[in-house]
Amino acid sequence: MIIDIVTLFPEFFEPFLKTSIIKRALEANLVQINTHQLRDYSHNKHKKVDDTPYGGGAGMLMQFPPFYDVIKKLKKTSDAKVIMLSPQGILLTQKKATELSKENHLILLCGHYEGIDARVEQLIDEEISIGDYVLTGGEIPAMILTDAVTRLIPEVIHEDSMAEDSLQKGWLKYPQYTKPETYKGYQVPEVLKSGNHQAIETWRKVQSIQSTYQKRPDLIKDIELSDLEKKILDEIIQLKKSNG
């Protein structure tokens, strides 16, 4: 996969690309991540890429021509997907990250100031948001999207680990523990030390459903429940009702 990031601040990404799983994925040639300075596509001798908005209003708006030129240069094939990071976009979810990880080429556009000239919307494929809040620019959202997508590329991380991620199957992940088994009265659940793999698997399933019900009940409506999951969820709901 190729990920091209268009930004006013390529240096913002330097430590990100040299750290942890992203670094290993790059070194293994599992992904190619490039940053592109938008000012290199400016039509202004001072490399300016913003101007006042037509109709008036506060702040400055990023100009259309630099984005037009950089997109036309980077989008060499029809399957390249152009994504603008914006609070007006659809919410980035694990499902969306999984879909994007199957693409061959992503072009990410990072806005700044009051946003980008709306004509850019005619050149993009998707507008994606990381949440219902406003940041100073699209660089952090671009890093989040890049991280979420890259770790799902085959061989970047262990497939078993990825399969057990929170939200990968809709549910939040079950609680996990490591040594020591006791510390200042805080204990690891006995079932996890039992060696009974079936009992552990059942416990984890129950904990995963219970955690989702307690912390993110909004997620459950989008999960296609198995008969076992329905039974467990009904029991959790009834227990909560009985306990007031």
Active site residues: 87, 114, 151, 165
The order of strands in the sheet holding 2-7 is 32-37, 2-7, 105-110, 81-91, 126-129
Contact 151, 21 (CB under 8 A): yes
Listed in sequence order, the residues at least 6 apart from 212 whose beta carbon sits closer than 8 Å to its beta carbon are 170, 171, 172, 219, 220
